[in-house]
Structure 1
Amino acid sequence: MKTLKSGKIWGGITYYAPGAFSQLLEKACEFVENETDYDTHIMCSAGYGFGHQAVSCVMYHTQGKENPPSLRRFTSIEPQIHQMCSMRTSTHLNFSEELSKFSSNGKHQYWASITIRADISLMELFHDKWQETLTQIQGADGFIFSFGFHPLTKALLENSEKAGGNAAAIPPSDGPLFVLLINPIWALPEDDSRIFRAVGELVSELRSLARERGLLHRYIFTSYGFGKDDILAGYGDESLAKLVETSKRVDPRGLFQLGVPGGFKLPNRTIVGS
């Protein structure tokens, strides 16, 4: 098993005024296209909560370099909401604990994701569509709404291929990519139907817009995927075939598919007698 040295990391979250979205998007597209620093990672988002909007960039340098050249394009964006920013040198555990605070137990949540090829004009259109949906449902009690875009850079995909490839079988030629996250959170069950309907329509529209422009990618990030999405098909035919053959060999009766609740399951053809 390959291991990684766990050392000090520089990073955190930088928050910006909502008007900085276009700047952040431009810099994120520049980052995914051109950045070759393997030791950086970013996650960008626009968000709404408690009557206010903000834009943010979660960023890290895993070798602990403070404000490295690869991340200055993000740390220099203004206007920032400085009292909310958390850039620092710390540990992997500490940064994990910081992000875990954004996951709320006991709340109603909807997670959905698509993956697209990097394109500024399409992402601007997506942001506009997200804003339109926000106006329809922001009155729900305890409402929080995130529109995230997390990059799979050319450098990341190339490095992955050199290390033996990735389970999703995404070749470097497919990149760079953005994994998009649409994630509303709210408090009351009586708002479930209208929020599910509005956000479901939004995700469907975003997928159609990307497909029309030839920018939709098959991959759906498993941790963000909606329960009705065909997540495993997004791994590609070759990887899916390997999963099916493995299941036939080690679990012919389908214990893990039929006896274990939750998660995304392989097609039933992997089960003996199906």
Structure 2
Amino acid sequence: MDIQANSSQTIHTQFINMIIPQFSKPSKQTTAALALLLPVAVQGQSFTTNHTSQTSTGFAPCDSLIAANLSSIVHLPSSPLYSTLVAGSWAKDTQRAPWCFVTPCNTDEVSKTVVALKDAGNGAGDWHIAIRSGGHGGGSQNSIEQGVIVDLSRMNDTTFDAQTEVASVGSGARWGEVYAELEKFGVGVTGGREAIVGVGGLILGGGLSWYTAREGFACDNVVNFEVVLANGEIVNANATDNSDLFRALKGGSSNFGIVTKFDLKTFPADKLSIDQRTISSEHAGGLIDAIADFTDLDQTFHDNAMIAMMMYNPQQNATIITVKEINTMGKVNSTVFDAINRIPTLAPAKKQTVTLADSAKSAALEANTRNVGVGPLVIANDPQVMRYCVEQHEKLIEDLKKVLGPNEFATIQDFQPFPSYFADIGVQKGGNMLGLERSSRNKIMTISGVILLTPNSEKQYPQVYQRLSAMTESIKAFAKSVGSDEELIYLPYANPMQDAIGSYGPANVEHIRKVAEKFDPSGFFQHRVPGGFKISRVN
């Protein structure tokens, strides 16, 4: 599955909306186009109706899909929808042109797809498969060139069972659509914060939410996974059936099979109270102290969430700070934010009380930007390390101004609270793979990124990546020098070079390894589906 809600390729919504115009529409239109173009998915080739005799496409895996009677959902480069599917991955860096796409509509078609691809060319050849849900993962998590992309966007149904209070959600659904459908029944689920982020990748990597302090990560609220294994078998994983797989999927990513459906625990839908403040960078020190105090609050304040973002805005040639304060019960002016609210603002605060669906919609991620990211850092809740982060971010901005010019880029550095009781909730709900329970300290996750705004951004990418990476390494070293480093690498934001799964700790690594070997003994999802974070690459 693609990993993510927000990966190292993802720069946060609120900032992008301020400086970059709308580039593309969510995949709802793509889904509609798929339905319209389905009869002509395979064009420019000649095939008999029973596929016993066919003209080769030139791509052995695509031929195998067609031979398996899946021609109606195979999209070759000659398909009218092919270019739209290429653009289905969010960032420019991951918009790749494969040999063909396959767009299954249901679990049975996913099963047939896996079997056909596993047997293609007798398993030989240097070609690969990518699995795409929402398309927000970095690297090759959801896109590939030498091979096939399995696009799950048509598997996007959301249903609700009032008796069990469980929502069933297709792996290719987007969170905004899920929230809107469930609000018809007066319920919500713990999921992504942006509407167009895909369900599959976010849950399988953990899944931070505005509700995490109250409900845990998104993965903690799954009551059943429907999974297609490498041999095509369809299994359920829950607390009683395949319980080892059930736990491994909570953060274990794409190491076991293709998850086609998630059954999620729901809760009564309350409106969110959202307060957004814009602050001058001269008040960064005071804000950091307020963030640290908020992160140290105990679980009785679990209805509240926040995120703070330091951002270089090229239009203003200045660094500004945006703070988003959330109360998940719709309580306006929650007192937990008093310290932040005493800091002077550059403009009147923007306050609103909205549904979860509207909140996610207003934060819709923009597409087609070239983003430079090197992944997240999780540190102890230490103001001195956060101040060092801000200093390094300002140095990076000055450096990039000299190299690129002041109008050719934008940056972001955010801080997200990770209090220790996040781990407690996960343990109470059966455990996940993140390993947060190994450290009793309250933590902060920080992520830095650069958005390149020029036509030659592809050429600029390597040198900007190098500078951003050097900055991040400097922060890591400083955190370690003062004893404030932490091991976790949050997978949905992780850079492909990071060892996200290895950061879960030896016991969880071993659990993932054993479960992967049990349910995928041939290693199909380790070698033929190489994108993402694989247990086979963890020592």
Normalised to the residue count of structure 2, the TM-score between the two structures is 0.47
Pair 1:81-2:347 in alignment: yes
Give the number of the structure whose alpha-carbon radius of gyration is greater. Answer: 2
Structure 1 pair 252/13, CA: closer, same or farther in 2 (3 Å)?
Answer: farther
The equivalent position to 1:260 in structure 2, one of 529, 532, 537, is 529
Of 300, 305, 310 in structure 2, the residue corresponding to residue 41 of structure 1 is 305
**Hey, what does 2:511 align to over in structure 1?**
242
Distance, in Å, in 2 between the alignment partners of 1:106 and 1:145 is: 13
Query: Hey, what does 2:451 align to over in structure 1?
Result: 185
Report the CA distance between 1:67 and its aligned residue: 1.4
In structure 2, the residue matched to 1:66 is 332
Q: Report the CA distance between 1:268 and its aligned residue.
A: 5.2
Deviating more after overlay: 240-249 vs 168-177: 168-177
Greater Cα shift, 60-69 or 13-22: 13-22
Residues 109 and 4 (structure 1), Cα distance of their counterparts in 2 relative to 1, 3 Å cut? farther
Find the counterpart in structure 2 of residue 7 from structure 1. Answer: 270
For 1:131, the aligned partner's letter is E
Aligned equivalents of 1:266 and 1:239: distance in 2? Answer: 11
Instruction: Give the match's secondary structure for 1:209.
Output: helix
Say which is worse superposed, 238-247 or 251-260, in terms of deviation: 251-260
Q: Is the 8 A contact 1:154 1:172 kept in 2?
A: no
Instruction: Identify which of structures 1 and 2 has the higher relative contact order when contacts are C-alpha pairs closer than 8 Å and 6+ apart.
Output: 1
Q: Aligned letter for 2:322?
A: S
Cα distance in 1, alignment partners of residues 379 and 461 from structure 2: 28
Q: What stretches of structure 2 of length at least 5 have no aligned partner?
A: 1-222, 224-264
Q: Distance in 2 between matches of 1:95 and 1:228?
A: 32
Counterpart-to-counterpart distance in 1, 2:332 and 2:434: 32
Give the distance between the partners of 1:113 and 1:174, measured in 2 at CA: 20
- Map of 1:231 onto structure 2: 500
Following TM superposition, by how much is the alpha carbon of 1:108 offset from its aligned partner in structure 2, in angstroms?
Answer: 3.5
Cα displacement (A) at 1:111: 4.0
The 3-state SS of whatever aligns with 1:93 is helix
**CA–CA distance in 2 between the matches of 1:91 and 1:65?**
13
Query: Matches of 1:269 and 1:212 in 2, distance apart?
Result: 26
Seen in structure 2, the aligned counterparts of structure 1 residues 249 and 155 have a Cα distance that, compared at 3 Å, is: closer
One-letter identity of the residue aligned with 1:228: M
Match of 2:357? 93
Please tell me whether the aligned partners of residues 280 and 345 of structure 2 are also in contact (alpha carbons under 8 angstroms): yes
Alignment partner, residue 289 of structure 2: 26
Q: 1:174 aligns with which of 431, 440, 454?
A: 440
- Code of the residue aligned with 2:480 in structure 1: it is R
Provide the aligned length of Structure 1 versus Structure 2. Answer: 267
Between the aligned partners of 1:190 and 1:63, the Cα distance in structure 2 is: 47
**RMSD (Å), alpha carbons:** 2.2
The match for 2:385 is: 122
Shift of the 108–156 alpha-carbon distance from structure 1 to 2, 3 Å rule, reads: closer
Match of 1:34, SS state, is: coil
Rounded to whole Å, the distance in 1 between the matches of 2:517 and 2:382 is 40
Find the aligned partners of 2:355 and 2:285 in 1 and give their Cα distance: 31
Q: How far did 1:12 drift?
A: 4.5
Deviation at 1:92, TM superposition (A): 1.3
Deviates most, 4-13 or 119-128: 4-13
Using a 3 Å threshold, how does the CA distance of structure 1 residues 247 and 155 change in structure 2: closer, same or farther?
closer
Instruction: Kindly indicate whether the alpha-carbon contact (under 8 Å) linking 1:32 and 1:154 is maintained by their aligned counterparts in 2.
Output: no
Instruction: Give, in angstroms, the shift of residue 200 of structure 1.
Output: 0.9
Distance change (3 Å), C-alpha of 1:268 and 1:28: closer
Cα offsets for 1:210-266 (capped at 9, x unmatched):
111121111011122111111111111111111111101111112222222522111
Q: Say whether the 8 Å CA contact 2:379–2:486 is kept in structure 1.
A: yes
Mapped contact 2:385–2:475 kept (Cα < 8 A):
no
Which range is displaced more, 23-32 or 146-155?
A: 146-155
The 8 Å contact of residues 38 and 155 in structure 1, kept in 2 or not, is answered as no
In 2, Cα distance between the equivalents of 1:250 and 1:175?
Answer: 35
Residue type at the aligned position of 1:72 = D
More deviation in 144-153 or 254-263? 254-263
Identity of aligned residues (%): 17
Structure 1 residue 30 displacement after superposition = 0.5
Alpha-carbon separation, structure 1, partners of 2:429 and 2:351: 30
Counterparts of residues 102-113 of structure 1 (less than 5 Å): 103-113=366-376
Residues 121-164 of structure 1: CA deviation (Å, up to 9, x unaligned): 12112211111111111335541111111111244344444334
Separation in 1, partners of 2:371, 2:357? 27
Please identify which structure carries the higher helix content: 1
- The normalised TM-score by structure 1 is 0.89
- Per-residue deviation, 1:106: 3.5
